[in-house]
């Protein structure tokens, strides 16, 4: 009797979606063109952690300077921690001065990231751009 062995590659994918969160801080400025940079850590329910660099760029009618400390985000549609990496589409209308709170949802295909944070600064305007997470 001849037996054949068949090796199947392992797929690094969870059986169901992971609960993943982002903790971050960032700061930026805008004068028609909005830019912000920061760092954070993504943590998932399977125990994995991924340090990330954050950048946000966009254009529109916007002016200001801002800083977000102790920001947080919740992902949906994540099956592998590396699914969080990449560019998300973002659009916002904003106005504020002094200490303020902010919430926003950004998307990348079937992945969504709900962001919230408090910070300080002043800004006013409307902008459209991107929010990018890359590995640190």
Q: Which residues lie below 8 Å from residue 96, measured CB to CB, with a gap of 6+?
A: 66, 102, 121, 122, 123, 124
Token representation of residue 109: 């295909």
Whole-structure pTM value: 0.79
Higher pLDDT, 123 or 35: 35
Q: How far apart are CA 101 and CA 59, in angstroms?
A: 22
Tens-digit pLDDT profile for residues 72-115 = 999 999 999 999 999 998 876 666 666 766 778 889 999 999 98
pLDDT on residue 8: 41
pLDDT greater than 60 at residue 9: no
The per-residue DSSP string of the chain comes to: --------------SS---EEEEEEEEEEEEEEEEEEEEEEEEETTS-EEEEEEEEEEEEEEEEEEEEEEEEEEEES-SSGGGG-EEEEEEEEEEEEEEEEEEEEEEETTEEEEEEEEEEEEEEEEEEEEEEEEE-
Tens-digit pLDDT profile for residues 39-60 = 999 999 999 999 999 998 886 6
pLDDT greater than 70 at residue 126: no
């Amino acid at each position: 009797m001849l037996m054949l062995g068949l090796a199947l590659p392992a797929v690094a994918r969870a059986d169901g979606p992971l609960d993943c969160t982002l903790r971050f801080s960032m700061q930026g400025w805008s004068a028609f063109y909005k830019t912000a940079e920061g760092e954070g850590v993504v943590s998932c329910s399977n125990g994995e952690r991924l340090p990330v660099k954050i950048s946000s760029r966009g254009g529109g009618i916007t002016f200001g300077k801002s800083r977000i400390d102790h920001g947080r985000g919740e992902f949906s549609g994540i099956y592998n921690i590396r699914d969080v990496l990449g560019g998300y589409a973002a659009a916002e209308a904003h106005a504020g001065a002094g200490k303020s709170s902010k919430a926003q949802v950004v998307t990348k295909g079937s992945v969504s990231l709900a962001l919230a944070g408090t910070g300080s600064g002043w800004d006013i305007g409307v902008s459209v751009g991107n929010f990018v997470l890359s590995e640190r």
